[in-house]
Structure 1
Amino acid sequence: MVPVVGADSAGVRHSPAVVMVCHNYGCAKQAAVRIDTSTLWWIDDVLQASADAAAEREALSRVLAQLYRLAARQSPVGNDRAGNFLDDGVEGRMDCIDHATTSTRWLALLEARGMLRFHRVLEPARRTRFILQHFSAVVEVLAQEPAADAPALEPAMLAAAERGAARYDVAPEHAQAPATVAGERFAIDAWFVDHGEPAVVLPLDEWLKGGGPNVH
């Protein structure tokens, strides 16, 4: 599905990995971005603090934002802006194909490392409106959700810090999201936002009907 280096099957959960990040529209260019151990520990702690599928999706939105920020230190993608018009012609710009492909690669790495408990990663989705096409990464809720016994986020972050993980901002708590059911699919779309902002998460049916911020 996606070329990921370091997403091993031997269970080396936090060993460094390399993911190819697309940019300059249509994946015209790719940059190898290395994810270090401390970042993977932080990601794992944030995801394991998710008590249910809704919380895991919110965490994934923030995790993708941090991974894109990491990529900006190793490639020109920090120049990317929401949509396609604001960064037209700029080196490092990303269209929806770049984002859908790259976000799916990030998510596939986390899935391969056993960090996702409530979702599996699907192939990118495509929607068509008139003559326009748009793509997004997609996850699907698993058939059974584990018991909600995950630790609170703050202790998890402190544990990560004690292991030497980098300190990152944590989004404030949000109101509880409606419960989701097994098999429900969600778009996780970073094309809608400026570089390094949390990706937009929408039910896939809503996204397919044109849901999401009004950007071009």
Structure 2
Amino acid sequence: MRRLFALLAFFALPVAAAGEARVSVCHGYSCVAQAEIVYSAAQLDEIRRLLLAAADAPGERDALAEVVGRLYRWGGEQSAIASDRAGNFADGDGVGRMDCIDHSTSTTRLLHLLGERKWLRWHRVLEPQARYFLGLIANHWSAVIEASDGERYVVDSWFVNNGEPAVILPLDEWKKGAGPDV
């Protein structure tokens, strides 16, 4: 009976419970430009419901991939980042293009928004990490989360076009070069 009441209460929460939020999103390569994105209460409620529907850490990572994509898509409706394409070369010289520094910084900010609202139940947000070419030169950055079991994962939106679900991989695999070929 308690579960039934909890489930009913979960779906009965008003849309306004999430409140409005503002997040600064980097673009222009190395965060040379920023756009303030405003997420509505309705958008945030949609995100909250997706995340809170996850039953475990893998489910939360699946939801996070979708959530990050949606947050970027809504950000693209308000800024030039709508033109961002996967990787660095498909962007051309367009305004709104994003490199991995823009993505790792912005995705970390988006993840902090979710964490501050207590919508991440099985993960916590860490600082972005780099992977290195020949162990010497940082050639790619990504946002990072840590599961409650201590496993770390990248949340890498650089690999996809604006608005598509982010790629989430174990940090160790990513550091060895895993991820889509862009």
TM-score by length of 1: 0.74
Per residue, is there more helix in 1 or in 2? Answer: 2
1:123 CA drift (Å) = 0.3
Contact 1:83–1:193, Cα closer than 8 Å, also in 2: yes
Q: Which of structure 1's runs of 4+ aligned residues deviate more than 2 A?
A: none
Q: Which has the higher contact order (CA 8 A, sep 6+)?
A: 1
Query: How do 1:22-171 and structure 2 match up within 5 A?
Result: 22-130=26-134, 131=137, 133-142=139-148
Residues 125-156 of structure 1: CA distance to partner in whole angstroms, max 9, x if unpaired? 111113451000000012xxxxxxxxxxxxxx
Aligned residues: 165
Asked whether 1:211 is paired with 2:178, we answer: yes
Instruction: Quote the residue 1:194 is aligned against.
Output: 161
Question: Aligned partners of 1:121 and 1:86: how far apart in 2?
Answer: 29
1:89 CA drift (Å) = 1.2
Question: Aligned partners of 2:17 and 2:57: how far apart in 1?
Answer: 21
Gaps of 5+ in 1: 1-11, 143-181
Aligned-partner SS, 1:50: coil
1:193 CA drift (Å) = 0.7
Contact 1:65–1:197, Cα closer than 8 Å, also in 2: yes
1:13 CA drift (Å) = 5.8
Contact 1:125–1:135, Cα closer than 8 Å, also in 2: yes
1:122 CA drift (Å) = 0.3
Instruction: Quote the residue 2:152 is aligned against.
Output: 185
CA-based RMSD of the aligned residues comes to 1.2
Matched residue type, 1:58: D
Question: Aligned partners of 1:129 and 1:77: how far apart in 2?
Answer: 28
Matched residue type, 1:208: K
Question: Aligned partners of 1:80 and 1:112: how far apart in 2?
Answer: 27
Gaps of 5+ in 2: 1-15
Contact 1:23–1:93, Cα closer than 8 Å, also in 2: yes
Question: Aligned partners of 1:82 and 1:110: how far apart in 2?
Answer: 24
Residues 162-200 of structure 1: CA distance to partner in whole angstroms, max 9, x if unpaired? xxxxxxxxxxxxxxxxxxxx0000001010011111111
- Percent identity for Structure 1 against Structure 2: 52
TM-score by length of 2: 0.88
Contact 2:108–2:125, Cα closer than 8 Å, also in 1: yes
Question: Aligned partners of 1:58 and 1:31: how far apart in 2?
Answer: 27
Question: Aligned partners of 1:114 and 1:43: how far apart in 2?
Answer: 12
